[in-house]
A and B are shown apart, each in its own frame.
Chain A
């Protein structure tokens, strides 16, 4: 445990110096601050912020995570010759990646909201869920980045795969679901569509928030089915737990590969 804290500490010191983390923080600050000032309507601010979170957090987490792991290759090789467990090394690296990302998001998006806190008093439930979704997406895509870059020795291949994973889950997946719904519209597809949205963490984050907002126009097909199938609060509960699986499963496989890896 002590060793884990020490490794995380050295990694945090290293990431903290990176200019990308600062840019990421400033980005969230500028977007949130700008939205509040343009609209002055908290529900619109939160909906737009949700859409920004759903696109930007997965992208930045997976790309930054992949670059981070390849950049730390020497470091990992160096430390693995020390009396340290591979699991500890893995966890230290992971904390060193996700903690700054989560902190950037909370500080960047949180500061403007705190400044205008009277506007958001009624929306505290949604705010907490929004924060939760942002944190979960960072943790999930951090795991996916670890899985991809541990599995692939080749930097370019790993980088390409990471971008592909993001593109697949955030853009192509929706198209695929639409395609299936359209072509098989004569069949009952409720269960299928629920299964399909459980297989996409970004969709899960979106559904969790949309169910809380209770805006049917923005639910989309899967959101509406979720709402009908489980009802509001059950839907939120199930989609949150499913997001947890999206951390556990990729992390299990990433760690398994890391333990077997030859340095």
Chain B
């Protein structure tokens, strides 16, 4: 359960997050949609403590975030743009994470296998292609079997085959009872995964509810159309 109360973040004059009130349901897939620059990534980064909010509170599992970092061990995070210790190999990064968290995980071989990273295992990260980096990025999010998965634009840069592997993986985790948060600005792509939809526009929550209720409300036939109509409503 993740709860945000009056969350506010400004970048200069820009209100990236404007008094956000949200509760993200456990054991569902929540899809945060919104146009470019609507605050999706800022919202996610605030939950992770990467961005420090100017005001408001965040609760993860009913515990208020106040500088303690242990809650992050419950979260698997896949950032939009992968950033890695460039000089390490794929295998070394997995080892480093296990070492730093002092946690055992035997999921790494399985993840390397399912994302087809066997050939790249011993290559340095700076020598990998963008798509391969994104796969490593995804594998890291799943590495410690976390209760909460936060995936920022997970399918961007992936080829269709890897993209569907990732989607299957997300469905599999959902079946195990994980809380999953996704963002994307390509609406059609993740429609099959979304259960709850949150629409952010200019740092404000414009819609928060199930996919079915969204489609009912707007009387459109799919997510893309529904969100497009909400966006034009918001603009008007």
Contacts and interface: CB of A to CB of B under 8 A. Distances in A.
B114 to A, nearest CB: 22
Nearest to B87: A14
A6 B100 contact: yes
A151 interface: no
A185 interface: no
A83 B72 contact: yes
Contacts of B86: 74-75
B51 A262 contact: yes
B77 interface: yes
Contacts of B48: 81
Contacts of B67: 85
Contacts of B100: 3, 6-7, 79, 82, 84
B14 interface: no
A17 interface: yes
B97 interface: yes
Point out which of A78, A80, A85, A263 has the most chain B C-beta atoms below 10 A from its C-beta: A78
Interface in B42-89: 45, 48-52, 67, 69-73, 77, 79, 83-87
B101 interface: yes
B85 A74 contact: yes
Nearest to B77: A81
Nearest to B50: A263
Interface in A235-263: 259-263
Interface in A66-82: 72-75, 77-82
Contacts of A17: 87
A19 interface: no
A78 B102 contact: no
5 tightest Cβ-Cβ pairs between the two chains A and B: A74-B83, A83-B72, A83-B73, A263-B50, A75-B85
26 contacts: A3-B100, A6-B99, A7-B100, A10-B96, A14-B85, A14-B87, A74-B83, A74-B84, A74-B85, A75-B84, A75-B86, A77-B79, A77-B83, A81-B50, A81-B77, A81-B79, A82-B97, A82-B100, A83-B71, A83-B101, A84-B100, A86-B69, A260-B52, A262-B51, A262-B52, A263-B45
